[in-house]
Amino acid sequence: MSRGLTRYMEIIPLNPPFSKGEISCPTLEKGVRGGFERLFRVKQEHRREAKLKSRFNAVVRFYKQQGRMPSFSEIGEMLGLRSKNSVFKFVNRLEEMGVVERDHTGRLIPRSLVSGIRVLGTVEAGFPSAAEEELADTLSFDDLLVENREATFLLKVSGDSMIEAGILPGDMVIVDRSQAPKSGNIVIAEVDGEWTMKYLRKRGDMATLVPANPKYKTIRPKSELKIAGVVTAVVRKYK
């Protein structure tokens, strides 16, 4: 008898664990059961992902419609979550996904609720040439324009005193109040009780606010000058 056949016979049970009319195969049963369990887990995972996506989309709709993030109680009401713990778990999941974060008060602020836009390359603005169409990356304007989200806010521009700095009426400016204002920065300032946006010029202890339009005069504070933040970017919508 060959050695291989001997090994085969050693694993054949002398008394098979099934009787007449009953077929039992533990290995097959285990395999089938394992397959069903894996299928069940996959379906469960798909259901969880679909529920998370649906809830995430509800938060995005709220943000787009209201222009702000919902409070925790509003999230619970909006999603039908009665338990505060369920709301916290959902918010924690959004934080893990990197789409929201909390400020120092615990209030939610958006990070990347809107997905990035594809960057296709560069286009020559000085002399006509074809734009490069090679896909390079995706870009979130939040990531590009905002360095300190918690200390950043938007203002809509009125007036034309900064027109030669490329800031036109109707533009939006992004202001970072965490940056130390330096001479030459465009700042949002309260001077003698009036708010304005101008270039900050410093000479010794003297500070002045300089417009970027010859129609306007340089402002020299008489009693008080407060800097609210440094303008870091300007956003213009054409259509």
Residues noted as catalytic: 161, 198
Closest Cα partner for 199 from 213, 188, 185, 189? 185
Within 8 A by CB and 6+ apart from 196, the residues are 161, 188, 189, 209, 219
> 46 — phi, psi (to 5°)?
-65, -40
User: 128: which 2 tokens?
Assistant: 């006509």
- Look up residue 103 and give its amino acid: D
Closest Cα partner for 212 from 196, 235, 232? 196
Phi-psi region of 121 (alpha: psi -120 to 50; beta: other; left: phi over 0): left
